[in-house]
Amino acid sequence: MKSLMASKLTFLCILLFLFSLSKGDDTIKHLQGCKRGSKVQGLHQVKLYLARFGYLNYQRTPDNVNPLQNDEFDEELEAAVKDYQSFYHLNATGTLDGPTISQMLMPRCGRPDKGSSHNHETKLLHIVSHYQFFPNSPRWPPSKSHLTYAFASNYPDIYVPPVVSAFNKWVSATKYFTFSRVDCVTSSDLKISWERGNHGDGEQNAFLPGTTIVAHAFPPTDGRFHYNADQNWFIGASPNAIDVETVALHEIGHLLGLDHSQFENAIMWSYIPTGAVKGLDSDDIQGIQALYGLNK
């Protein structure tokens, strides 16, 4: 029971931190320059962020003290910062420098980065692939190359066309999957909805108002794809909004079995900055081909 309560408390702290990120750069900007041995108020927020996205997992201490809740820049945090920096091709110093802090403040997908299987370094014509799969590489069975999708009743009609366009782009790119829209969400393979707060996916996946999380989706064969209704959405490029189709392309990749890529140009790169409009990249296509054996 104590373990369960501690776990819930940790998730709540992480969600509160993600909420606080939106309240201004001062939340963690003052931590710039912190490194191992530092003890600065607010460092626990960076620990919570890195734990949320899979970079930091403290072992339980004998006295049951949760290191995520203190402001000490310890050896584990340094290793986690280096891991995060390496994943995003930043200078892996283990120090909270300006580029690292700026990266953490950007809007992003809610799925963790770490825990993926297969970081591919296969070289083909001097091209290095960085696509990743989920642990155990879940995929849709061969009998399900055609998938149905439906929009929940809470999904805004104005934002349906960009999602339909995103599905069509995956069809053209994969030449394997096909999709069709149906009316019944309950029986559809893929279920797309517009959500706020704790919407039934567990506390760790809640959309608190103001969080940096824009959306999340689940690997095969779950089928859930949720937009964060509290983000500022737009169709196309807008300097102060998130493009609906760009996010759809990314989250559909999760629905098909791709995890976050380490290649910034890939649609499966986890960060989706305001104003950005992206399409599918060769890294995304190579990932799907490898996952489903389409390149044999």
Q: What is the pLDDT of residues 113-122, one digit of tens each?
A: 987 555 554 4
In sequence order, the 6+-apart residues with CB closer than 8 A to the CB of 170 are: 177, 179, 249, 252, 253, 256, 280
Bridge pairing between strands 123-124 and 190-195: unpaired
For the entire predicted model, the pTM comes to: 0.87
Per the document, the length of the chain is: 296
- What ranges do the domains of the chain cover? 2-105, 123-291
Per-residue pLDDT of 43-99, as tens digits, reads 999 998 999 899 999 876 666 578 888 999 999 999 999 999 999 999 999 999 999
Q: Is 75 a catalytic residue?
A: no
Q: Give yes or no for a cis peptide into 100 (omega within 30° of 0).
A: no
Distances (CA, A) of 126 to 121, 122, 132, 254, 266: 11, 9, 19, 26, 17
2-105 maps to which CATH number?
Answer: 1.10.101.10
Per-residue pLDDT of 222-266, as tens digits, reads 999 999 999 999 999 999 999 999 999 999 999 999 999 999 999
Q: Which CATH superfamily hosts domain 123-291?
A: Collagenase (Catalytic Domain) (3.40.390.10)
CA dihedral (77, 80, 84, 86) in degrees, to 10, reads 120
Catalytic residue (one of 76, 203, 251, 264): 251
Q: Which amino acid is at 157?
A: D
The rounded mean pLDDT for the chain is 87
